[in-house]
Amino acid sequence: MAETEKTVKQVQQEIVDEFSAFGDWMDKYEYLIELGHSLPVIDERKKLEDRLIKGCQSRVWLDSEYRDGRLWFTADSDAIITKGIISLLIRVYNGRTPEEILSADNSFIEEIGLRENLSPTRANGLLSMMEQIREDALRYKDR
Amino acid sequence: MIRDIEQIRSFFPYLQSADSGGRTLIYFDNAATTQKPRIVINAVSRWLVDANANVHRAVYGLAATATEHYEAGREAARALINAASKDEIVLTSGTTASINLLANVYGQRYIKPGDEILLSEGEHHSNLVPWQMLCERTGARLRYFPVGEDGQWDLEAAEKILAEGKVRMVSAAHISNVLGIVNPVGELTALAHRYGAHIHLDGAQGIVHAGIDVQSIPCDFYSFSGHKIYAMTGTGVLYGRRSLLETLPPWMGGGEMVDTVTYGKTTYADIPLRFEAGTPNFLAAATLRPAIDFATSVRIPQVHKNEEEMTEYLMRELNSIGGMRIIGSGGKKVPLISFNVEGVHHSDIATLLDKMGIAVRSGQMCSEPLLNKFGQTGAVRVSLAAYNTMRECEAFIAALHRVLKMLK
């Protein structure tokens, strides 16, 4: 089953299950680093100032395309853990309709034990990334 | 009499605490703020009960006690930097507030269009933005003298700019919060005065690792924060030489800073109260006394020796790591080291160190222009205090190797 045939909740639950298999923080972060390395990167030409997410210690670019009623994301960051975290978000939200994105919650981030990444001062700016995804969804909502 | 580092550690409840896994945490972000010793924590909780009344106003006993504590904080700050008089000590909320105050009142009185203000390239935002704002307001020009590749000042270049004769004020860090090098502030002070400029030294880090005697290094202004030397947050000092401070107008208006007020006109209080409008953070300021007493009591040979050994050890071990770039490698180094490892992002290093219970700073450290000058978008910084140990440094180095193995 392709990811988009599952609901947002189902994909989030899959991620939670994967993470629950890790014994300690090190395995978890090693996995995030691995995910970071495999993130399909954004087209260099799209690394524009206005797609640079503010509030991150590392530089994060997130770009979206709207095709056939769905949003598709690409991203990049100069920090690998940040890339790993974005890849989780992209896995959940890629190919979703704006409505699906706007009605989703992100409690799975807490469930996989990355809650500390949600605090507003955190270097990787997970909150800002989620906000950007929602903003993009909002932009295409009534089209 | 303090015997050794272990005894110093015993004064800090935080250093006795552990995380949920029973692991003792290593705190290496002392340049941002220090942990607090019990003597400060206890004083605050006691004063909240028995000395909490607004200062410099009322006649009742409680208010008198509060005022005594507040003024004792001022006296402790005076003694720490050997100012000639307690009137030269303006209490502020921190270094940033001190410099903003100074840039405003000095600017009002002395800066005209075409004047110049000279900074080093090694300044953090607190000693840069207020001057930039002043220049925008007044039409003055901001200039910078260079910092070399190894982080040391180029005083010859500073002199050339001063010799042009337009610089009114020089403002520079005693120790940069990124480079960790004790700057030749005595020489810069002499240079500034030789060319008729005033000089302010930003002592946010200098007060911690170098100390200053404002009579032997006769700078015109010196600012520092209390919370980096064990006092409560919200404490700071602007020292100003009396003959100059007295010529400066007030900035914020309100209670406490006045002499007489009518509906038509106000005359202002003498220094230092002229610059302390409104209710000050008097409980925090009062902690300057126990905090400075403590900071002074740990200025002992064992602590100096330990800091030197830790600095040397960290520099050696860091330098042995492939792709290591230490920002600020030259001169008289204090235990404050910023670095990057090629191909690895500083925030990744700090994130993983945090998972191992080690708190270090990463990012721009409020010094974006300086880091950009060194071709960096940020860095990792370790900064130590009197309570840190060689064992912690060894644990940090081991953890860093582990982290780099994960990231490379």
Residue A113 to residues A107, B272, B355: CA-CA distances in angstroms?
A: 10, 51, 12
The angle that helices A25-38 and B390-407 make with each other, rounded to 10 degrees, is 40
Residues 6+ apart with CB under 8 A from A88: A15, A35
Confidence of residue A107 (pLDDT cuts 50, 70, 90): confident
Exposed e or buried b per residue across B147-167, where buried means at least 16 C-beta atoms within 10 angstroms of its C-beta: beeebbbebebbbebbeeebb
Confidence of residue B257 (pLDDT cuts 50, 70, 90): confident
pLDDT tens profile B345-396: 999 999 999 989 999 999 888 898 999 999 998 999 999 999 999 999 999 9
Cβ distance of B348 and A30 shorter than 8 Å: no
Cβ distance of B406 and A29 shorter than 8 Å: yes
Secondary structure of B92-137 as H, E, C letters: ECCHHHHHHHHHHHHHHHHCCCCCEEEEECCCCHHHCHHHHHHHHH
From CA B119, how far away is CA B136, in angstroms rounded?
16
Q: CA of A123: which chain B residue's CA is closest? A: B347
Confidence check on the interface: ipTM exceeds 0.95, yes or no: no
Cβ distance of A58 and B345 shorter than 8 Å: yes
Predicted pLDDT at A72: 94
pLDDT tens profile B350-361: 999 998 999 999
pLDDT tens profile A81-93: 888 988 999 999 9
Domain boundaries, chain A: 3-140
Closest-CA distance of chain B to residue A90, Å: 20
Does A8 qualify as catalytic in the annotation? no
Q: Backbone phi, then psi, for B57, in 5-degree steps?
A: -130, -75
Q: CA of B376: which chain A residue's CA is closest? A: A58
Alpha carbon B59 to its chain's center: 35
Of A121, A57, A83, residue with least CA distance to B378: A57
Cβ distance of B406 and A124 shorter than 8 Å: no
Cβ distance of A79 and B352 shorter than 8 Å: no
Domain boundaries, chain B: 5-30+300-407, 43-295
Contact B183, B174 (CB under 8 A): yes
A12: its two tokens: 């989030």
From CA B48, how far away is CA B43, in angstroms rounded?
8
C-alpha distance across the termini of chain A, in Å: 28
CB-count burial class (<10 Å; 0-12, 13-18, 19+) for A1 = exposed
Of A10-19, B16-25, B160-169, which has the strongest mean pLDDT? B160-169
How does the average pLDDT of chain B come out, rounded? 95
Q: Which of residues 36-55 of A touch B (CB under 8 A)?
A: none
Indicate if the pLDDT at residue B400 is higher than 60.
yes
Contacts of A58 in chain B (CB under 8 A): 345, 347-348
Indicate if the pLDDT at residue A124 is higher than 60.
no
CB atoms within 10 A of CB A52: 12
Predicted pLDDT at B24: 83
CATH architecture of the domain covering A3-140: Alpha-Beta Complex (3.90)
Q: Is A33 on the interface with B (CB under 8 A)?
A: yes
Interface probe with B: pick from A80, A116, A119, A129, most Cβ of B within 10 Å: A80
What's the CATH number for B43-295? 3.40.640.10
Q: Which of A56, A71, A90, A129 is catalytic?
A: A56
Q: CA of B378: which chain A residue's CA is closest? A: A57
**SS3 of A35, please?**
helix
From CA A18, how far away is CA A108, in angstroms rounded?
12
Q: CA of B355: which chain A residue's CA is closest? A: A25
- Out of B354, B363, B407, whose CB is closest to A33? B407
**SS3 of A67, please?**
strand
Interface probe with B: pick from A37, A58, A122, most Cβ of B within 10 Å: A58
pLDDT tens profile B292-339: 999 999 999 999 999 999 999 999 999 999 999 999 998 999 999 999
Residue where the block lists tokens 């960096």: B376
From CA B211, how far away is CA B203, in angstroms rounded?
8
Of B67, B71, B82, B75, residue with least CA distance to B241: B82
Predicted pLDDT at A25: 84
From CA B195, how far away is CA B209, in angstroms rounded?
29
Residue B81 to residues B222, B298, B375: CA-CA distances in angstroms?
A: 9, 16, 36
Q: What Rg value do the Cα atoms of chain B yield, rounded?
A: 22
From CA A112, how far away is CA A106, in angstroms rounded?
11
Indicate if the pLDDT at residue A2 is higher than 70.
no
Choice among A108-117, B116-125, B146-155 with the minimum mean pLDDT: A108-117
Closest-CA distance of chain A to residue B345, Å: 5
Pick the CATH number of B5-30+300-407 from 3.10.100.10, 3.90.1150.10, 3.10.20.30, 3.90.180.10: 3.90.1150.10
Closest-CA distance of chain A to residue B407, Å: 7
Secondary structure of B249-289 as H, E, C letters: CCCCCCCCCEEEECCCCEEECCCCHHHCCCCCCHHHHHCHH
Contacts of A33 in chain B (CB under 8 A): 406-407
Contacts of B348 in chain A (CB under 8 A): 58, 79-82
Contact B201, B119 (CB under 8 A): no
Beta bridge partners, B223, equal B202, B238
Contact A41, A83 (CB under 8 A): no
* % chain B with pLDDT above 90: 88
pLDDT tens profile B24-48: 889 999 999 999 999 999 999 999 9
Beta bridge partners, B29, equal B383
* % chain B with pLDDT above 70: 100
- Out of A29, A30, A79, whose CB is closest to B347? A79
Of B48-57, B227-236, B259-268, which has the strongest mean pLDDT? B227-236
- Out of B362, B406, B407, whose CB is closest to A123? B362
